[in-house]
Amino acid sequence: MSRDAHLFGPGPKRILALDGGGVRGIISLAFLERIEALLAARAGREARRGGGPAAPPFRLGDYFDLIGGTSTGSLIATGLALGFSAGQLIEMYLTLARQGFRGARWHGGILIPKFRTRPLVELLKRQIGETTLGSAQLLTGLAIVAKRLDTGSVWVFHNNPRAPYFDPAGRDPQAVPNRDLPLVNLVRASTAAPTFFAPERIEVARGVSGVFVDGGVSPHNNPSLLLLMLAGIEGYGYRWPLGAENLLLCSVGTGEQPVAHDPAALTAATSATVALHALTSTMNDCKWLNQALLQWIGVCPTLWPIDSEIGDLSDDRFGGGAFLHYLRYDLLLERRWLDRTLGLAATDRELAALAQMDRPEQVERLLELGRAAATVQVQDTHFPSRFDAVANTGAGAGPA
Protein backbone atom coordinates (compact mmCIF):
# COMPACT_ATOMS: atom_id res chain seq x y z
CA MET A 1 0.00 0.00 0.00
CA SER A 2 1.37 3.43 -0.94
CA ARG A 3 1.53 6.58 1.16
CA ASP A 4 -1.43 8.09 -0.67
CA ALA A 5 -3.49 4.93 -0.24
CA HIS A 6 -2.86 5.18 3.50
CA LEU A 7 -3.69 8.88 3.65
CA PHE A 8 -6.59 9.14 1.22
CA GLY A 9 -7.91 5.61 0.69
CA PRO A 10 -11.24 4.38 2.08
CA GLY A 11 -11.86 2.73 5.42
CA PRO A 12 -10.99 3.34 9.07
CA LYS A 13 -7.65 4.98 9.87
CA ARG A 14 -4.89 3.95 12.27
CA ILE A 15 -2.42 6.29 14.01
CA LEU A 16 0.72 5.35 15.94
CA ALA A 17 2.09 7.97 18.38
CA LEU A 18 5.55 7.59 19.93
CA ASP A 19 6.80 9.51 22.99
CA GLY A 20 10.16 11.14 23.50
CA GLY A 21 12.55 9.79 26.12
CA GLY A 22 16.16 9.49 24.94
CA VAL A 23 17.66 6.02 25.18
CA ARG A 24 14.44 4.89 26.88
CA GLY A 25 13.01 4.77 23.36
CA ILE A 26 14.03 1.13 23.41
CA ILE A 27 11.08 0.56 25.77
CA SER A 28 8.78 1.78 22.99
CA LEU A 29 10.49 -0.64 20.61
CA ALA A 30 9.79 -3.53 22.96
CA PHE A 31 6.07 -2.72 22.80
CA LEU A 32 6.24 -2.25 19.03
CA GLU A 33 7.96 -5.62 18.66
CA ARG A 34 5.00 -7.26 20.40
CA ILE A 35 2.41 -5.27 18.41
CA GLU A 36 4.18 -6.13 15.17
CA ALA A 37 4.25 -9.84 16.02
CA LEU A 38 0.53 -9.93 16.85
CA LEU A 39 -0.52 -8.01 13.75
CA ALA A 40 1.85 -10.02 11.54
CA ALA A 41 0.32 -13.26 12.80
CA ARG A 42 -3.14 -11.93 12.04
CA ALA A 43 -2.07 -10.78 8.56
CA GLY A 44 -0.53 -14.19 7.94
CA ARG A 45 -3.75 -15.94 8.90
CA GLU A 46 -5.70 -13.72 6.54
CA ALA A 47 -3.25 -14.41 3.70
CA ARG A 48 -3.52 -18.17 4.19
CA ARG A 49 -7.30 -17.98 4.35
CA GLY A 50 -7.29 -16.14 1.04
CA GLY A 51 -5.16 -18.84 -0.55
CA GLY A 52 -2.95 -16.32 -2.35
CA PRO A 53 0.83 -16.23 -2.72
CA ALA A 54 3.07 -15.60 0.27
CA ALA A 55 3.05 -11.93 1.23
CA PRO A 56 6.22 -9.89 1.86
CA PRO A 57 7.30 -9.49 5.50
CA PHE A 58 4.77 -7.57 7.56
CA ARG A 59 5.76 -4.12 8.77
CA LEU A 60 3.98 -1.68 11.07
CA GLY A 61 4.20 0.81 8.21
CA ASP A 62 1.78 -1.48 6.36
CA TYR A 63 -0.81 -1.27 9.14
CA PHE A 64 -0.66 2.31 10.42
CA ASP A 65 -1.78 5.16 8.17
CA LEU A 66 0.10 7.81 10.15
CA ILE A 67 3.14 7.28 12.37
CA GLY A 68 4.36 10.24 14.38
CA GLY A 69 6.88 10.84 17.11
CA THR A 70 8.68 13.35 19.25
CA SER A 71 12.42 13.26 19.94
CA THR A 72 13.51 9.62 20.14
CA GLY A 73 9.98 8.76 18.99
CA SER A 74 10.62 10.67 15.75
CA LEU A 75 13.59 8.43 15.00
CA ILE A 76 11.52 5.30 15.56
CA ALA A 77 8.59 6.72 13.57
CA THR A 78 10.87 7.50 10.64
CA GLY A 79 12.35 4.01 10.68
CA LEU A 80 8.92 2.38 10.74
CA ALA A 81 7.64 4.60 7.94
CA LEU A 82 10.67 3.60 5.86
CA GLY A 83 9.81 -0.07 6.31
CA PHE A 84 12.18 -1.10 9.09
CA SER A 85 10.97 -3.85 11.39
CA ALA A 86 10.87 -3.36 15.15
CA GLY A 87 13.70 -5.88 15.46
CA GLN A 88 15.89 -3.93 13.05
CA LEU A 89 15.25 -0.74 14.99
CA ILE A 90 16.14 -2.46 18.26
CA GLU A 91 19.51 -3.39 16.76
CA MET A 92 19.91 0.20 15.60
CA TYR A 93 19.18 1.48 19.10
CA LEU A 94 21.77 -0.83 20.60
CA THR A 95 24.28 0.65 18.14
CA LEU A 96 23.05 4.16 18.94
CA ALA A 97 23.62 3.52 22.63
CA ARG A 98 27.24 2.58 21.94
CA GLN A 99 28.04 5.22 19.32
CA GLY A 100 25.48 8.03 19.34
CA PHE A 101 25.87 9.17 22.95
CA ARG A 102 29.51 10.21 22.96
CA GLY A 103 30.36 13.00 25.34
CA ALA A 104 32.01 16.24 24.28
CA ARG A 105 35.58 16.71 25.47
CA TRP A 106 34.54 19.64 27.62
CA HIS A 107 30.97 19.73 28.76
CA GLY A 108 28.92 20.81 31.68
CA GLY A 109 25.47 20.27 30.22
CA ILE A 110 24.53 23.88 30.87
CA LEU A 111 27.52 25.68 29.30
CA ILE A 112 27.83 23.46 26.22
CA PRO A 113 25.91 20.35 25.06
CA LYS A 114 26.73 17.11 26.84
CA PHE A 115 26.98 15.00 23.66
CA ARG A 116 28.63 15.53 20.30
CA THR A 117 26.31 15.82 17.33
CA ARG A 118 28.48 14.16 14.68
CA PRO A 119 28.19 10.50 15.86
CA LEU A 120 24.39 10.75 15.93
CA VAL A 121 24.26 12.39 12.49
CA GLU A 122 26.59 9.77 11.01
CA LEU A 123 24.39 6.98 12.37
CA LEU A 124 21.25 8.65 11.02
CA LYS A 125 22.82 9.08 7.59
CA ARG A 126 23.80 5.41 7.46
CA GLN A 127 20.22 4.38 8.16
CA ILE A 128 18.23 7.12 6.39
CA GLY A 129 20.61 8.42 3.73
CA GLU A 130 19.49 11.45 1.73
CA THR A 131 15.77 10.59 1.93
CA THR A 132 13.46 13.60 2.11
CA LEU A 133 10.05 14.04 3.70
CA GLY A 134 8.40 13.81 0.28
CA SER A 135 10.15 10.59 -0.72
CA ALA A 136 8.18 7.68 -2.15
CA GLN A 137 10.34 5.45 0.06
CA LEU A 138 8.04 6.33 2.95
CA LEU A 139 5.41 3.60 3.08
CA THR A 140 2.87 5.63 5.00
CA GLY A 141 2.14 8.95 6.68
CA LEU A 142 4.95 10.35 8.83
CA ALA A 143 4.90 13.22 11.34
CA ILE A 144 7.92 14.62 13.20
CA VAL A 145 7.45 17.05 16.10
CA ALA A 146 10.06 19.73 16.84
CA LYS A 147 10.20 23.09 18.63
CA ARG A 148 11.32 26.15 16.68
CA LEU A 149 13.13 28.03 19.40
CA ASP A 150 13.66 31.36 17.61
CA THR A 151 9.89 31.82 17.25
CA GLY A 152 8.76 29.77 20.25
CA SER A 153 6.44 27.65 18.10
CA VAL A 154 5.75 23.93 17.72
CA TRP A 155 6.34 22.61 14.21
CA VAL A 156 5.02 19.29 13.02
CA PHE A 157 6.67 18.20 9.78
CA HIS A 158 4.47 15.71 7.93
CA ASN A 159 4.29 14.18 4.47
CA ASN A 160 0.67 14.86 3.58
CA PRO A 161 0.76 16.29 0.03
CA ARG A 162 -2.50 18.14 0.77
CA ALA A 163 -0.91 20.05 3.66
CA PRO A 164 -0.32 23.78 3.05
CA TYR A 165 3.47 23.69 3.38
CA PHE A 166 4.23 20.37 1.73
CA ASP A 167 4.53 22.28 -1.56
CA PRO A 168 3.63 25.91 -0.79
CA ALA A 169 4.56 27.47 -4.15
CA GLY A 170 1.14 29.07 -4.62
CA ARG A 171 0.78 30.15 -0.99
CA ASP A 172 4.34 31.30 -0.19
CA PRO A 173 6.88 31.16 -3.03
CA GLN A 174 9.76 31.90 -0.63
CA ALA A 175 9.02 28.98 1.69
CA VAL A 176 11.10 25.83 1.39
CA PRO A 177 8.69 22.96 0.61
CA ASN A 178 8.48 20.48 3.46
CA ARG A 179 8.68 17.70 0.91
CA ASP A 180 12.31 18.71 0.17
CA LEU A 181 13.53 18.65 3.78
CA PRO A 182 15.98 15.81 4.52
CA LEU A 183 14.70 13.36 7.13
CA VAL A 184 18.12 13.33 8.81
CA ASN A 185 17.80 17.04 9.60
CA LEU A 186 14.22 16.71 10.81
CA VAL A 187 15.03 13.82 13.14
CA ARG A 188 18.11 15.68 14.37
CA ALA A 189 15.93 18.71 15.12
CA SER A 190 13.34 16.67 16.98
CA THR A 191 16.03 14.95 19.07
CA ALA A 192 18.06 18.09 19.89
CA ALA A 193 17.30 18.02 23.60
CA PRO A 194 18.62 21.20 25.26
CA THR A 195 21.85 20.61 27.24
CA PHE A 196 22.23 17.19 25.60
CA PHE A 197 22.59 18.06 21.89
CA ALA A 198 23.13 21.30 19.98
CA PRO A 199 20.12 22.86 18.20
CA GLU A 200 19.56 22.14 14.51
CA ARG A 201 19.32 24.94 11.95
CA ILE A 202 16.92 24.25 9.07
CA GLU A 203 16.30 26.54 6.12
CA VAL A 204 12.55 27.18 6.17
CA ALA A 205 12.45 29.97 3.56
CA ARG A 206 14.92 31.35 1.07
CA GLY A 207 17.66 32.89 3.20
CA VAL A 208 15.81 32.19 6.47
CA SER A 209 16.88 29.47 8.91
CA GLY A 210 14.94 28.35 11.95
CA VAL A 211 16.64 27.11 15.11
CA PHE A 212 15.01 23.85 16.19
CA VAL A 213 15.26 21.85 19.40
CA ASP A 214 13.66 18.74 20.83
CA GLY A 215 9.89 18.62 20.42
CA GLY A 216 9.74 17.38 24.00
CA VAL A 217 10.12 20.96 25.29
CA SER A 218 6.55 21.59 24.17
CA PRO A 219 3.19 20.13 25.26
CA HIS A 220 3.80 17.27 22.83
CA ASN A 221 6.53 15.01 24.22
CA ASN A 222 3.62 12.59 24.06
CA PRO A 223 2.38 13.54 20.56
CA SER A 224 -0.93 11.65 20.71
CA LEU A 225 -3.26 14.63 21.02
CA LEU A 226 -1.32 16.56 18.37
CA LEU A 227 -1.63 13.65 15.93
CA LEU A 228 -5.37 13.44 16.61
CA MET A 229 -5.58 17.14 15.78
CA LEU A 230 -3.51 16.53 12.64
CA ALA A 231 -5.99 13.88 11.53
CA GLY A 232 -9.16 15.81 12.25
CA ILE A 233 -8.54 19.55 11.87
CA GLU A 234 -9.47 20.85 8.43
CA GLY A 235 -6.34 22.92 7.84
CA TYR A 236 -3.91 20.01 8.06
CA GLY A 237 -5.50 18.36 5.04
CA TYR A 238 -6.18 14.82 6.32
CA ARG A 239 -9.85 15.35 7.23
CA TRP A 240 -10.27 11.84 8.59
CA PRO A 241 -13.67 11.16 10.16
CA LEU A 242 -13.64 10.81 13.92
CA GLY A 243 -15.40 8.13 15.94
CA ALA A 244 -14.53 4.88 17.68
CA GLU A 245 -15.48 2.99 14.52
CA ASN A 246 -13.39 5.21 12.26
CA LEU A 247 -10.14 6.05 14.04
CA LEU A 248 -7.66 4.02 16.11
CA LEU A 249 -4.84 5.78 17.95
CA CYS A 250 -2.13 3.66 19.57
CA SER A 251 0.17 5.62 21.89
CA VAL A 252 3.44 4.11 23.16
CA GLY A 253 5.51 5.54 25.99
CA THR A 254 9.17 5.36 26.96
CA GLY A 255 8.74 4.57 30.63
CA GLU A 256 8.17 6.87 33.56
CA GLN A 257 9.38 7.11 37.13
CA PRO A 258 6.78 8.69 39.44
CA VAL A 259 7.98 11.97 40.94
CA ALA A 260 8.87 11.80 44.63
CA HIS A 261 11.18 14.59 45.85
CA ASP A 262 12.11 15.10 49.48
CA PRO A 263 10.35 18.33 50.57
CA ALA A 264 13.23 19.47 52.80
CA ALA A 265 15.84 18.88 50.09
CA LEU A 266 13.70 20.64 47.49
CA THR A 267 13.21 23.66 49.77
CA ALA A 268 16.97 23.92 50.27
CA ALA A 269 17.85 23.35 46.60
CA THR A 270 19.38 25.96 44.31
CA SER A 271 17.15 28.02 42.06
CA ALA A 272 18.52 26.17 39.02
CA THR A 273 17.59 22.81 40.54
CA VAL A 274 14.08 24.00 41.40
CA ALA A 275 13.68 25.38 37.86
CA LEU A 276 14.80 22.06 36.36
CA HIS A 277 12.32 20.11 38.48
CA ALA A 278 9.57 22.57 37.56
CA LEU A 279 10.30 22.15 33.83
CA THR A 280 10.34 18.36 33.97
CA SER A 281 7.15 18.32 36.04
CA THR A 282 5.47 20.55 33.44
CA MET A 283 6.39 18.03 30.74
CA ASN A 284 4.91 15.30 32.92
CA ASP A 285 1.75 17.36 33.45
CA CYS A 286 1.35 17.68 29.67
CA LYS A 287 1.75 13.94 29.26
CA TRP A 288 -0.96 13.15 31.79
CA LEU A 289 -3.26 15.83 30.39
CA ASN A 290 -2.93 14.05 27.04
CA GLN A 291 -3.75 10.79 28.74
CA ALA A 292 -6.76 12.14 30.63
CA LEU A 293 -8.27 13.86 27.59
CA LEU A 294 -7.85 10.87 25.28
CA GLN A 295 -9.32 8.43 27.82
CA TRP A 296 -12.19 10.87 28.34
CA ILE A 297 -13.05 11.26 24.65
CA GLY A 298 -12.25 7.73 23.47
CA VAL A 299 -13.06 4.07 23.92
CA CYS A 300 -10.00 2.80 25.78
CA PRO A 301 -9.39 -0.86 26.70
CA THR A 302 -6.02 0.08 28.25
CA LEU A 303 -7.13 2.54 30.93
CA TRP A 304 -4.53 4.12 33.22
CA PRO A 305 -5.47 5.75 36.54
CA ILE A 306 -5.06 9.52 36.17
CA ASP A 307 -5.11 10.48 39.85
CA SER A 308 -6.84 9.52 43.10
CA GLU A 309 -9.72 11.94 42.51
CA ILE A 310 -10.97 11.08 39.01
CA GLY A 311 -9.60 7.54 38.72
CA ASP A 312 -9.30 6.07 35.22
CA LEU A 313 -12.37 7.87 33.76
CA SER A 314 -14.01 4.56 32.90
CA ASP A 315 -17.40 6.00 33.86
CA ASP A 316 -16.94 9.24 31.94
CA ARG A 317 -17.51 10.05 28.29
CA PHE A 318 -17.11 13.55 26.86
CA GLY A 319 -20.31 14.62 25.12
CA GLY A 320 -21.78 11.14 25.46
CA GLY A 321 -19.94 9.70 22.45
CA ALA A 322 -16.45 8.53 21.55
CA PHE A 323 -14.11 10.28 19.13
CA LEU A 324 -11.65 7.40 18.71
CA HIS A 325 -10.51 3.94 19.78
CA TYR A 326 -7.54 4.72 22.02
CA LEU A 327 -4.69 2.52 23.27
CA ARG A 328 -1.85 3.47 25.61
CA TYR A 329 1.12 1.26 26.49
CA ASP A 330 3.85 2.27 28.93
CA LEU A 331 6.11 1.09 31.72
CA LEU A 332 6.31 2.51 35.24
CA LEU A 333 9.82 2.47 36.68
CA GLU A 334 8.53 1.96 40.20
CA ARG A 335 9.23 -0.97 42.53
CA ARG A 336 5.68 -1.81 43.56
CA TRP A 337 4.35 -1.54 40.01
CA LEU A 338 7.09 -3.77 38.61
CA ASP A 339 6.53 -6.35 41.33
CA ARG A 340 2.72 -6.28 41.16
CA THR A 341 2.40 -6.07 37.37
CA LEU A 342 5.42 -7.94 36.05
CA GLY A 343 6.69 -9.94 39.01
CA LEU A 344 10.10 -8.27 38.68
CA ALA A 345 12.34 -6.80 41.35
CA ALA A 346 14.48 -3.67 41.12
CA THR A 347 16.21 -1.43 43.64
CA ASP A 348 15.52 2.28 43.93
CA ARG A 349 19.09 2.95 42.84
CA GLU A 350 18.68 0.85 39.70
CA LEU A 351 15.37 2.52 38.86
CA ALA A 352 16.91 5.98 39.27
CA ALA A 353 19.55 5.03 36.69
CA LEU A 354 16.99 3.48 34.34
CA ALA A 355 14.86 6.63 34.45
CA GLN A 356 17.64 8.78 32.99
CA MET A 357 17.34 9.59 29.29
CA ASP A 358 21.10 9.57 28.69
CA ARG A 359 22.36 6.32 30.23
CA PRO A 360 23.16 4.12 27.19
CA GLU A 361 24.62 1.40 29.39
CA GLN A 362 21.07 0.71 30.63
CA VAL A 363 19.50 -0.15 27.26
CA GLU A 364 19.65 -3.94 27.64
CA ARG A 365 17.87 -3.78 31.00
CA LEU A 366 15.32 -1.30 29.64
CA LEU A 367 14.65 -3.65 26.73
CA GLU A 368 14.16 -6.55 29.14
CA LEU A 369 11.64 -4.60 31.22
CA GLY A 370 9.88 -3.30 28.12
CA ARG A 371 9.45 -6.79 26.70
CA ALA A 372 8.04 -8.04 30.00
CA ALA A 373 5.55 -5.17 30.12
CA ALA A 374 4.59 -5.66 26.47
CA THR A 375 3.80 -9.33 27.05
CA VAL A 376 1.41 -8.40 29.85
CA GLN A 377 -0.18 -5.30 28.32
CA VAL A 378 -0.47 -5.76 24.55
CA GLN A 379 -3.34 -8.02 23.54
CA ASP A 380 -4.58 -8.99 20.09
CA THR A 381 -8.13 -7.96 21.04
CA HIS A 382 -7.00 -4.36 21.56
CA PHE A 383 -6.84 -4.01 17.76
CA PRO A 384 -10.39 -4.67 16.49
CA SER A 385 -10.68 -6.49 13.19
CA ARG A 386 -12.57 -3.55 11.67
CA PHE A 387 -9.23 -1.71 11.61
CA ASP A 388 -7.40 -4.41 9.66
CA ALA A 389 -5.84 -3.10 6.47
CA VAL A 390 -8.29 -2.70 3.62
CA ALA A 391 -7.86 -4.81 0.50
CA ASN A 392 -7.30 -1.76 -1.68
CA THR A 393 -3.58 -1.50 -2.44
CA GLY A 394 -3.83 1.16 -5.12
CA ALA A 395 -2.77 4.77 -4.91
CA GLY A 396 -5.95 5.93 -3.22
CA ALA A 397 -7.57 9.18 -4.19
CA GLY A 398 -4.24 10.98 -4.37
CA PRO A 399 -3.52 14.58 -3.46
CA ALA A 400 -6.00 17.20 -4.55
**For the chain, which residues make up each domain, given as ranges?**
3-387
Tell me the β-bridge partners of 175. 205
Confidence at residue 47, expressed as pLDDT on a 0 to 100 scale: 58
pLDDT at 390: 55
pLDDT along the chain (400 residues), means of 10: 94 98 95 97 72 77 98 96 96 81 48 60 86 97 97 97 92 92 95 81 94 92 98 97 98 91 87 82 90 97 96 91 97 96 94 88 95 98 89 41
Query: Three-state DSSP class for 290?
Result: helix
Cα 15 from Cα 227, distance rounded (Å): 8
CB 141 within 8 Å of CB 160: yes
How far apart (Å, rounded) are the C-alpha atoms in residues 159 and 140? 9
Q: What top-level class would CATH report for the domain 3-387?
A: alpha beta
Q: How far is CA 310 from CA 58, 316, 341, in A?
A: 40, 9, 22
Residue 336 CA neighbour count, 13 Å, CB half: 1
160: DSSP letter? -
pLDDT of residue 392: 37
At residue 104, the pLDDT reads: 45
* Entry pTM: 0.92
**Distance separating alpha carbons of residues 288 and 310, to the nearest angstrom:** 13
What is the CA 137 to chain-centroid distance, rounded?
Answer: 20
pLDDT of residue 281: 85
